[in-house]
Amino acid sequence: MSPFILKVLPVALAAAAVPVGLSLQAVFGDRQPHPVAMTVVLLSGSIIYPTPGEFLKEGRPQGNPRIERQLSRPLEIMAYQVGAADYADCVSAGVCQPAQETRAIPSNAPVTGVSYLDANAYARWYSQVTGGQWRLPSDEEWAFAAAERFAGEFEGVENDANNPARRWLTSYKAEVDLNRKPDPMPKSRGSFGFNSLGLADFSGNVWEWTSTCYVRTTLAADGSGVASSVDNCGVHVLEGLHRAYMSNFVSDGKSGGCAVGTPPDNLGFRLVRDHSGWASRILGWLGIV
Amino acid sequence: MITRREALFGAAIGAAAVAALPAFSATVTKADIRGLAREKIALVAPPFVHPHDQVAKGGPKIVEFTITIEEKPLVIDADGTTLNAMTYNGSIPGPLMVVHQDDYLELTLINPDTNSLAHNIDFHAATGGLGGGGLTLINPGEQVTLRFKATRTGTFVYHCAPGGAMIPWHVVSGMSGAIMVLPRDGLRNDRGEPVKYDKIFYIGESDFYIPRDEKGNFKSYESAGDGYDDIVKVMRGLIPTHVVFNGKVGSLTGDNAMKAKVGETVLIVHSQANRDTRPHLIGGHGDYVWEQGKFANPPAKDLETWFIRGGSAGSALYTFLQPGIYAYVNHNLIEAVELGATAHFMVEGQWNDDLMTQVEAPKPIATN
C-alpha cells in the first residue's frame, strides 16, 4: 500500500477530511521499513450515535440511548481496511498468528479471519515497523469515520414491557430486512466504494473490530442517568452492516453469531493513528490541523 | 469419474431384480382398483406440504403424484460451496406426499434426458419390489409409473436406490424425501383422542460430504460424475462436511424462517434418509412425538429431544405457548452450529408471564 497513490481517493472528500498519507510519509519517511497505509484525517464533526451495549431500565431492555457526540480532536484513520498482504507481513515477522482464512481471496483483499487479539497484535507490530502509534478505533471513532455508512443498532426494534418477544421478533425481522446478499467472499479493496469522507469499504462484507468493550448498563428509573454498569472486555464491539458483539478470540463470525440472527460475513479491521504532541504540531504546521 | 455406461450398470442390477420378481398381479385386485376414485395432487416444495384432509373423506382412492428428477448444482452454504445435487422435483429433500391408509399412491417418475444418471425410488412405506426401487429404475429420457398400497400409517422416507455404490452417493447428493400416511380418521394422542394440526412443516435433514482441496477449501466439479471418486473417499470417513435442513445452511432461517402464532398447533415432520439425528425445539417441546414416525403406536408425550433414526421419518406435534424466535436444531450442537442443522420459527403472540418471567434483570453482583 503506497502512500503515494492519493489519486485513488474520490473527489467527494468532505471538507473535514484531508488525505495526509503523503505529507506524513514526507515527515517520517526514511526510517520506515514498512510502507504506511493511506489515511484520512477527520478534523471535526458531530454524530447522533446509539451507544453500544445493552441497556436496561426497571429490569426491561431499552433501546440504545442515542447521543450527540462531537469529534473532540482530529482522527487519522486508514482509508482502507488492513490488507491481507500487510497482515501476512506481520505473520512472516513471527508476531501475528496466521489469519483463519483458507479461501482463495484476491491478493489485495482486506484481511479476514482475524480476532480482536489478532488485530491488536497487528497494531503493535505495525506501530513498531512504521514508527507510528496505531490502535483499533473506538466504536465511536468508527462511527464518525463510517459517516453515512454507519448502521449501529437496528431501527424499529420494539421494547414492549409486557412482551419481551416483541424485541426478539422485531430485531430478527430488522436483520432479515437488511436483505444481505449471500456473498461473503472477500473482495479487492475498494470494491464496496467510498463514503462521503473518502474512506473505503465501510459496511461491505467485512465487519471491523473496535476497541470498545461490551457493556451492560442499567439506567436509573427516574431517567437521571446510569445506575450501574458492568463491562465485559472479553467481548468487543464490531461494526459493519449491523453492530455485533464477539468474544475476543473469535475470528469467524459464523461461530460467534449475533443473537439468533445472521452473523457477520467476515471479521477484519482498520487502524487509527494517535499523534503525540509534536506530531500534532507538525500537522498544524502543514496546515492540516 | 463415472461414465454414463457405469451409471447404467446400476440399471442392470435393477433389471435383474425386476426379472426375479414373480408375476403376482392378481387381476381381481386390478378390477377393484379400476373402480376407485382418483385424485391428482400438485406437489409443493418443502418445508411446505400440499393441501390435504387430516380426516379422510370417503373411501380409499388412488392418489396421483408426478415427480421429475433434476440433476443440478446447488449452493449449500453461505460460502457458495456447490453440491452436484440430484433431486426429486428440484428440491432437497423431495416433496412430502400425503395420503391416507388404504389409499393407493401412484407416482409417475420422470428422468429427463438432460440428466446423466439412472435413478429410481425406494419407498419405505411400500411393500415388496425393493420398496418400488426394483420397478422404477429409469434412464435419462424415460419415465415410469408405480402404484403401491399405503397399508401402514406413519411418516416414511423415500430415496433413490439405483444399486450398489450408487445408492449412498445418490442419497447424500440429495435424493430423499418422505411420505405421510395418515390414519383415515386422523391423528390420535396417547389416550386415543383425536388431535389436529393447524400447520405442517416438512424438514428433511441431509448430510453432505464435499471434498476439499489441499488448502482445505471445498472443491467443485463440472458434473456429479466428475466428483464421484473424491466424494466417496469423504463419505467413507463417515464425517459429513455439512449437516443441513432442506438442502442448505440457512434454508429455514431469516426470510425463510417458519412462521406460527401462539396457540397454533404445528406438526413438524423430520426425515433423515442416511444418518441419525436428534431434533430439539429450543424453548419448546414435543407435546406428542411419533419418534419412530408410525401412527399405530401411541405418541410419546412432553419430549425435550427426539431421535430420528437414519433411514426414517418422525413427527412431533406442538402447540406454541409463547411468542419469540425459536431455534429448531439437531441437538448435536456441533452439527447445528458448525455444520448447519439449524432452523428458526418466528412465533407471534402475547407473552405469558406465568410461564416465564425475568424476576430480576442482570445487574452487578450484590456485595453485601
Summarize pLDDT for A1-15 with one digit per residue, the tens. 333 333 223 323 333
DSSP state of A21: H
A-chain residues within 8 Å CB-CB of B362? 56, 216, 230
- pLDDT above 90: percentage of residues in chain B: 84
Domain that holds residue A17: 4-285
* pLDDT of res. A205: 92
The domain spanning residue A13 has which CATH number? 3.90.1580
| Pairs across A and B, CB distance < 8 A | 74
User: Is the pLDDT assigned to residue B286 strictly greater than 50?
Assistant: yes
Grid coordinates of B340: 448447519
| Encoded amino acid at B175, one letter | M
Pick the residue of B262, B329, B363, B367 with the most A CBs within 10 A to test the interface with A by mutation: B363
pLDDT of residue A282: 59
Highest mean pLDDT among A225-234, A270-279, B289-298: B289-298
A222 and A43 Cβ atoms separated by less than 8 Å: no
Dump pLDDT digits (tens) for B75-103: 999 889 999 999 999 999 999 999 999 99
Q: What is the mean pLDDT of residues A53-61?
A: 88
Domain CATH number, residue B240:
2.60.40.420
Strand A39-42 relative to strand A75-78, pairing: antiparallel
Q: Which residue of B has its CA nearest to A57?
A: B361
Specify the range with the lowest mean pLDDT, choosing from A264-268, B189-193, B216-220, B363-367. Answer: B363-367
Amino acid residing at B36: L
Note whether B127 and B64 are same-domain residues.
yes
Cite the active site residues of B: 119, 122, 124, 159-160, 170, 175, 280, 304-305, 331
Please report whether residue B210 resides in a domain: yes
Write out chain B residues lying below 8 Å of A262, CB-based: 253-254
Task: Please say if the pLDDT value at position B175 is more than 90.
Answer: yes
Domain-embedded: residue B243: yes
pLDDT of amino acid A23: 40
Q: Tell me: the pLDDT tens digits for B313-343?
A: 999 999 999 999 999 999 999 999 999 999 9
| Ramachandran assignment for A22, one of left (phi > 0), alpha (psi -120 to 50 degrees), beta (any other) | alpha
Establish if B362 belongs to a structural domain: no
Q: Which of A243-257, B54-68, B238-252, B272-286 has the lowest mean pLDDT?
A: A243-257
Does B194 reside within a domain? Answer: no
Cell numbers that stand for B67 in this block: 415427480
Q: Does B155 share its domain with B253?
A: no
Using the beta-carbon criterion (under 8 Å), do A218 and B78 form an inter-chain contact? no
Pick the residue from chain B with its C-alpha nearest to A160: B351
Q: Do A165 and B349 touch (CB under 8 A)?
A: yes
| Number of domains making up chain A | 1
Predicted confidence at residue B208, as pLDDT, reads 98
Higher pLDDT among residues A261 and B27, named by residue: A261
Amino acid identity at A216:
R
Reported as a single tens digit per residue, the pLDDT across B155-170 is: 999 999 998 999 999 9
Q: Band of the pLDDT at A284, cuts 50, 70, 90? A: low
Identify the contact set of chain A against chain B, taking CB-CB distances under 8 A. 56, 59-60, 102-104, 162-166, 168-169, 172-173, 175-176, 182-185, 216, 218, 228, 230, 254-255, 257, 260-262, 265
Residue A283 pLDDT class (50, 70, 90 cuts):
low
Q: Do A168 and B325 count as a contact with CB atoms less than 8 A apart?
A: yes
Q: Are residues B214 and B177 in the same domain?
A: no
Nearest neighbour of A59 by CB, restricted to B80, B253, B358: B358
Q: What's residue A134's pLDDT? A: 97
Is residue B368, in this structure, part of any structural domain at all?
A: no
The pTM for the full model equals: 0.83
What's the pLDDT score for residue B4? 45
Residues A264-275, mean pLDDT to the nearest whole number = 94
Q: How far is CA A126 from CA A87, A90, A135, A236, B26, in A?
A: 9, 8, 9, 21, 84
Query: Can you give the pLDDT at residue B1?
Result: 45
The minimal CB distance from A260 to the residues B215, B344, B351 is found for B344
Output B2 or A224, whichever has higher pLDDT.
A224
- Residues B162, B296, single domain; the answer is no
Tell me the C-alpha distance between B158 and B171, whole Å: 10
CA-nearest of A52, A23, A57 to A38 is A23
Contact, B231 vs B165, CB < 8 A?
A: no
Which residues lie below 8 Å from residue B102, measured CB to CB, with a gap of 6+? B60, B149, B150, B151, B184
Q: Say yes or no: B216 contacts chain A, CB-CB below 8 A.
A: yes
Nearest CA in chain A to B361: A59
3-state helix/strand/coil string of A67-99: EEEECCCCEEEECCCCEHHHHHHHHHCCCCCCC
Give contacts of B 87-106 with A, CB under 8 A: none
Residues of chain B with Cβ-Cβ distance to A183 below 8 Å are: 80
Are A183 and B80 within 8 A, CB to CB? yes
| Residue in B217, B351, B362 closest to A102 by CB | B217
B80 touches chain A (CB under 8 A): yes
B31 and B102 belong to one structural domain? yes
pLDDT of residue A279: 57
**β-sheet bridge partners, residue B303:** B286
Phi and psi at A68, nearest 5°, equal -90, 130
3-state secondary structure of B276: coil
Q: Which domain holds residue B87?
A: 4-182
Residues B65 and B141 in one domain: yes
* Residue B177 located in a structural domain: yes
Distance CA(B30)–CA(B140), nearest Å, equals 30
Residue B190 lies in a domain: no
The pLDDT score that the predictor gives to residue A285 is 55
Query: Could you read off the pLDDT of B200-250 as tens digits, one per residue?
Result: 999 999 999 999 999 889 999 999 999 999 999 999 999 999 999 999 999
Q: Does the annotation list B331 as a binding residue?
A: yes
Domains in chain B: how many in total?
2
- Decide which of B158 and B31 is more confident: B158
Q: Which residues pair with B156 in a beta bridge?
A: B179
B321 touches chain A (CB under 8 A): no
In this prediction, residue B293 carries a pLDDT of 98
**B31 falls in which pLDDT band (50, 70, 90)?**
low
**What is the overall mean pLDDT for chain B?**
92
For residue A280, the model assigns a pLDDT of 60
B285 annotated binding-site participant: no
**Of B204, B170, B211, B208, which is closest to residue B86 (Cα–Cα)?**
B170
Residue B132 lies in a domain: yes
Residue type (1 letter), B10: G
Confidence class for position B5, pLDDT limits 50, 70, 90: very low
Chain A CB within 8 Å of residue B360 CB: yes
CB contact under 8 A, A169 and B323: yes
Q: Are residues B43 and B147 in the same domain?
A: yes
Q: Which residues pair with A216 in a beta bridge?
A: A54, A230
What's the pLDDT band for B2 if we cut at 50, 70, 90?
Answer: very low
Q: At what angle do helices A84-92 and A116-130 cross, to 10 degrees?
A: 80
Q: What is the mean pLDDT of residues B185-212?
A: 98
DSSP assignment string, B97-118: EEEETT-EEEEEEEE-TT--S-
User: Are both B170 and B89 inside the same structural domain?
Assistant: yes
B283 touches chain A (CB under 8 A): no
Is pLDDT larger for residue B160 or for residue A65? B160
Section B41-51 average pLDDT: 98
**Residues of B (109-168) whose Cβ lies below 8 Å from A:** none
Mean pLDDT of chain A: 82
Residues of A in contact with B353 (CB under 8 A): 162
Exposure on the CB side of residue A157, measured as CA atoms within 13 A = 19
**Is residue A25 pLDDT above 90, yes or no?**
no
Asked if residue B160 belongs to a known ligand binding site, the reply is yes
Residues B158, B297: one domain?
no
- Is residue B350 within 8 angstroms of chain A, CB to CB? yes
Q: How high is the pLDDT of residue A277?
A: 64
Query: Which of these ranges, A227-236, A245-254, B144-153, B213-222, has the smallest mean pLDDT?
Result: A245-254
Residues 6+ apart with CB under 8 A from A287: none
Decide: B168 and B127 in contact? Cβ < 8 Å. no
- The verdict on B167 and B314 lying in the same domain is no
Model confidence at B107: pLDDT above 60: yes
Compare A160 and B354 and report the one with higher pLDDT.
B354
Rounded Cα gap, residues B218 and A61, in angstroms: 42
Output the pLDDT for position A154.
79
B159 labelled binding-site residue:
yes
The residue whose grid cell reads 394422542 is B189
